[in-house]
Chain A
Amino acid sequence: MENLTIKRLGGALLLKYAGEITLEMTADLKRRLEAELGEGDGEVRAVIIDLSAVPFMDSSGIGFLVSCNTRMKSTGKAFYLYQLSPAVEKTLGLVQLLSFFSVLPDETALTGVCE
């Protein structure tokens, strides 16, 4: 998945995927995140998903975000979305999940949760 970048920022893991998040992609994304959470040195306290480069997302993508959120919260960790593209914002709005997720509005907020 050359379109996926995963960065460690302090105690947080920042995932950025550039491309469509559909049925075709979600299983791979889930696997990559699981692998990263399993092997990283030092504890990951938060996962942040940057959605700025996602031109299309379907309900499988929504399911992926929900499952990440559940996984992190169930172990007392944090899960954030960052920089929603217009398409992602529309899709999450349609299913009334915009306020369900914690969305980081800007870089200051991002830096704040990475300390």
Chain B
Amino acid sequence: MERAVTRKVFRTESHPGDSRRLAKDVVDYLAAFLDDGDVLHDLDIILTEACANVCRHAYGGQPGPLEVRLAVSPGSWIELEIVDWGKGFGDDVRFENPGPDAEGGRGLYIMRMLANDCQVRRENGENVVFIHKDIGAPRWKT
């Protein structure tokens, strides 16, 4: 039987250091649920990429509010919403892997590779990167 979903919200200002720390805080919290370093590393990369995007693009390079909404269904899946209130992605949403010489533009591709579902939405003034990752039962702490 699926256990109850645990929800938690993490917040910070989108300075580079604080954004990285926010990603780490979420991963540290998830380490209480998960027994698999590789999955935690996947989630660390996803969160770091999403938070770095907010840092670089959301508020024109200035810091602004950044929130991670976490939902955990132990034994089954994790969902993340990385939220900002800045200018949004607009038409600049690229999930493809750019050419090898490109210096940037790999963030969303990496997130999509490491998740089962990755969506970019704008709703009620919020820019949301939604992530769903299925995680098999043996990788969870009991």
Contacts and interface: CB of A to CB of B under 8 A. Distances in A.
Chain B associates with chain A: yes
Nearest to A101: B100
Interface string B89-131: 0000000010011111011011001100000000000000000
A11 interface: no
Given A22-B20, A23-B20, A24-B17, A63 B48 contact: no
Given A23-B52, A59-B49, A100 B110 contact: no
A70 B100 CA distance: 10
A59 B104 contact: yes
A83 interface: no
Interface in A17-66: 20, 22-24, 56, 58-60, 62-63, 66
A90 to B, nearest CB: 7
B102 A66 contact: yes
B81 interface: no
A75 interface: no
Interface residues of A, number: 21
A62 B109 CA distance: 13
B126 to A, nearest CB: 22
A96 B97 CA distance: 9
A4 interface: no
Interface in B16-40: 16-17, 19-20
Main SS class of interface, B: helix
Contact of A87 (B41, B49, B100, B102): B41
Nearest to A73: B101
A100 B56 CA distance: 26
Given A94-B110, A94-B113, A95-B97, A58 B103 contact: no
A20 B103 CA distance: 18
Contact of A59 (B52, B55, B100): B52
18 contacts: A22-B16, A22-B20, A22-B52, A23-B16, A56-B44, A58-B49, A59-B52, A59-B110, A62-B106, A63-B103, A66-B103, A70-B101, A90-B41, A91-B110, A94-B45, A94-B113, A95-B109, A96-B100
Task: Return the 5 tightest CB-CB contacts between A and B, nearest first.
Answer: A63-B103, A59-B106, A24-B16, A100-B100, A23-B52
Given A95-B106, A100-B100, 19 more contacts: A20-B20, A22-B20, A22-B48, A23-B19, A23-B56, A24-B16, A24-B17, A56-B44, A58-B49, A59-B104, A59-B106, A67-B103, A70-B101, A87-B41, A91-B110, A94-B110, A95-B109, A96-B97, A97-B100
